[in-house]
Amino acid sequence: MVGSRVLRPAAQLLRSSPSVLPRCSFQKVTAPVAASRWRRTYASPSGSKEMTVRDALNEAMAEEMEKNSKVFVLGEEVGQYNGAYKVTKGLLDRFGEKRVIDSPITESGFCGLTVGAALAGLHPICEFMTFNFAMQAIDQIINSAAKTHYMSGGIQPCNITFRGPNGFASGVGAQHSQDYSAWYGSIPGLKVVAPYSAEDAKGLLKAAIRDPNPVVVLENELLYGLSFPMSEEAQSDEFVLPFGKAKIERPGKDLTMVTLSRCVGQCLVAAEMLKSKYGVEAEVINLRSVKPLDVEAIIKSVKKTGHMMAVESGFPSFGVGAELIALTAEYAFDYLEAPPVRVTGAEVPTPYAQCLEEMSFPSEQLIADYAAKLLRL
Amino acid sequence: MLSKFAPRAFTAPVRYNAGAPLRAAFRPVMVARRTVTTDAASSHADKEDVPDSDDAPFQVKLSDEAFETYELDPPPYTLDTTKGELKKMYYDMVAVRRMEMAADRLYKEKKVRGFCHLSTGQEAVAVGIEHGIEKTDHIITAYRCHGFAMMRGGSVRSIIGELLGRREGIAHGKGGSMHMFSTGFYGGNGIVGAQVPVGAGIGFADQYLGKSSVTLSLYGDGASNQGQVFEAFNMAKLWNLPVIFACENNKYGMGTASARSSALPEYYKRGQFIPGLKINGMDVLAVKAAAEFGKQWCAAGKGPLVYEFVTYRYGGHSMSDPGTTYRTREEIQRMRSTNDPIAGLKLKILEWEVASEEELKAIDRKAREHVDEEVAAAEAMEAPHATQEVLYEDIYVRGSEPEFLRGRTPEENFYYPERPVQVPKSPAQT
Ligand SMILES: Cc1ncc(C[n+]2csc(CCOP(=O)(O)OP(=O)(O)O)c2C)c(N)n1
Ligand SMILES: [Mg+2]
């Protein structure tokens, strides 16, 4: 029996994780921070302060621009208008027109231009007003940015950060509501992160800007205005979060909920509902990073809980949830006490009417109910 | 300097309307090439020439500043119209504005969700175009679409109903403010610039089917910089498509003034190899004359045109934008008080004694009452039923759906009923 387990990829993974699923360790390249720092995610509550995700993103850009003159921001309305969602507020005043550049509405063009600037050694932050509009430019992101380093045999790097809000917002209809996590997450050559909290936002965006590869930062408009505690450590201008490292937002022994972005908050609420109603403890894992993905964290948790549930708000087919379940089946099958499940967005172009929109995306109640069902409560 | 605006007109000062009054025909060419203004009340007619009857035709002379041309012999600076039509155009503009004001109020009452882009100030464009084309012609535009949807035949209640997310809304509550469709109206599109080549495709279909219709593919000054706009220009010229690429230059794309987004903010020249026409978009008569001219041009097989309607939006980019951080209040106030398309037409109607002050007031009242009634009717409409049937209907043509689509969980998967394929009649065919 032990022998058969060893044949399972999970066993291999747990035995020798670095060689089986090597994670691009960020320190290899720039390493401005000691590795130990990254692990200390919780700081003493004393020095912590509240910050919105919007301000955290803004601070991340400002700090990196301060540190490195090669970093600049280009996008629609990022300068004089202070950002369509005010994420770049104040950057033009602080860094001037040379480094905070208002682009015409020409996504394919300006995205290509920033990729070119990255090939030539600058470190652009290419802002899309939303990722829905990056569909106009996705060829540049994938064919020009993501593949070049490989195609050149490692001769040509492309240090660029693509960022902007992703996923649905409220009441904006089908063309303005799509989640692209799975699209970008499927591309070798890209790194993809999806911050949830203010610390996530700051740490991941700063890491993205410093990372020598093209990185896609999938933010969420509905999170921009939410406040989260920022630990003393996260307030430092050296705070970065490693890619490929999930965060256990809430420990638990009965169920593993793997989720990302806005759904993390929903899962935390659902977990509390499960606790108060049934007394079960769900472990909520905030992926933080879509590519690379922290398979190890998932396996460790599933090994403990025996139950796996993926929660995301994208389209279900070929999605992040599908990938998480496939990985669980590949690496943690033997630890499962029930089939892994997923809660996702519905397979519907986002409708405008509120009552229909509500039926299209996961709700806290739905997550809790489905979890209860999985646990046969 | 002037020849730069209309190089060909210099050598070939041909006018199209042979019946144009002598004064126009002999007007020195130089005079015609004045800079286009946004004076909404610049056209001329002699009171004495205005007939008594509402449907007897008479001619209006457009101002020298109504048009500027690019690689194009200027269109006639005259417009054949009737008293009835002038009053209808006035009514239409008042009704569009009233409807937009209702949308504004409903948004502020938090009854409209998401984005809501109003066309207040730009009414002459939607109204003038509709009066210059036929129902069999086609229009496609961006998200600032309420006025177009209405002019294409959408009822006020269906448009407001859509904003309110109601089942009887023009898109059954599925589309919202940015996505409205109607006869010969292809939306209501949310991705800046993407509608432009789509419009070229509508023209392609007309050409393919041997129809003599014209398509107006509308876009903003901001959108004009999208690469696919230029791709569409190239194909349309290459294949001689009956399309008018029409830029609504309201001077800003969201918060960016046109000169900050466009290397050449003279949008009517952007077609390079396509003749262009710049039009006073605050003068509904100039807009109508331009639409008529373009329709004839395309029907004659002369290929595409690039238009620039110079206009102005009074409000913010969308309801969430105050619209005052990137332009001065004085600028807005000046446009409102001196270039308003409704006030401009009103002035002319009174001056030409097309209608009396009282008659216009009655029209105002009629438009107001109609819109208010319709808005009330829209508010009384029901929201869509929150059922799987409603959520999943119309993702595919009815009867041609896959067996099922996935829900948020497998329990919520929706299985379609067996039924014959019911392809809806395209609004284009009517
Ligand atoms: C491809 C794409 N990029 C960006 C946006 C966001 N956006 C919506 S409207 C707008 C400004 C467009 O300006 P303009 O074309 O001048 O039209 P106007 O709003 O003035 O009518 C922008 C940037 C979008 N909807 N689609
Ligand atoms: Mg504009």
Considering only CB atoms, A172 lies closest to which of B114, B192, B262, namely B114
pLDDT at B123: 98
The residues that bridge with B244 in the sheet, in sequence order, are: B216, B305
Does the structure show a pLDDT above 50 at B276? Answer: yes
Span B351-397, pLDDT tens digits? 999 999 999 999 999 999 999 999 999 999 999 999 999 999 999 99
Residue numbers in A near B405 (CB within 8 A): 346-348
Token digits for B169? 């809304």
Parse chain B into domains and list their residue ranges: 2-380, 398-429
pLDDT at B33: 58
Does the structure show a pLDDT above 90 at B270? Answer: yes
Considering only CB atoms, B227 lies closest to which of A109, A174, A348, namely A109
Span B72-87, pLDDT tens digits? 999 999 999 999 999 9
Give the CATH fold of the A2-42+244-374 domain: Rossmann fold (3.40.50)
The residues that bridge with A209 in the sheet, in sequence order, are: none
Containing B256, the helix (H) or strand (E) segment is strand B256-257
To the question of domain B2-380 being in CATH 3.40.1160.10, the answer is: no
**Mean pLDDT (whole number) for A211-234:** 98
pLDDT at B427: 74
CA distances from A332 to A16, A260, A298, A317, B330 (A): 15, 20, 9, 22, 67
pLDDT at A45: 57
pLDDT at B251: 98
Give the CATH fold of the A50-235 domain: Rossmann fold (3.40.50)
Residues with CB under 6 A from ligand 1: A 76, 105, 107, 129, 133, 136; B 144, 190-192, 219-223, 248, 250, 252-254, 317
- For residue B49, count other CB atoms closer than 10 A to its CB: 11
Parse chain A into domains and list their residue ranges: 2-42+244-374, 50-235
Atom of ligand 1 at shortest range from CA of B224: 15
**Mean pLDDT (whole number) for B333-345:** 97
pLDDT at A16: 42
A83 vs B425 pLDDT, higher one: A83
CA distances from A78 to A100, A203, A205, B57 (A): 7, 21, 17, 52
**Mean pLDDT (whole number) for A201-225:** 98
Strand ranges for B192-236 from DSSP E: 215-220
Residue numbers in B near A108 (CB within 8 A): 226-227
Does the structure show a pLDDT above 90 at B339? Answer: yes
Domains A2-42+244-374 and A50-235 are alike in CATH topology: yes
Minimal CA separation from B122 to chain A, in Å: 21
- Find out whether A185 and A290 touch, Cβ atoms under 8 Å: yes
pLDDT band at A21 (very low <50, low <70, confident <90, very high): very low
**Mean pLDDT (whole number) for B127-133:** 98
- At B63, give phi and psi (nearest 5°): -70, 155
Average pLDDT value over all residues in chain B = 92
Contact A80 B226 (CB under 8 A): no
Those residues with Cβ within 8 angstroms of residue A193's Cβ, 6 or more apart along the chain or in another chain? A204, A207, A208, A215, A216, A217, A218, A243, A288, A289, A290
pTM of the model: 0.91
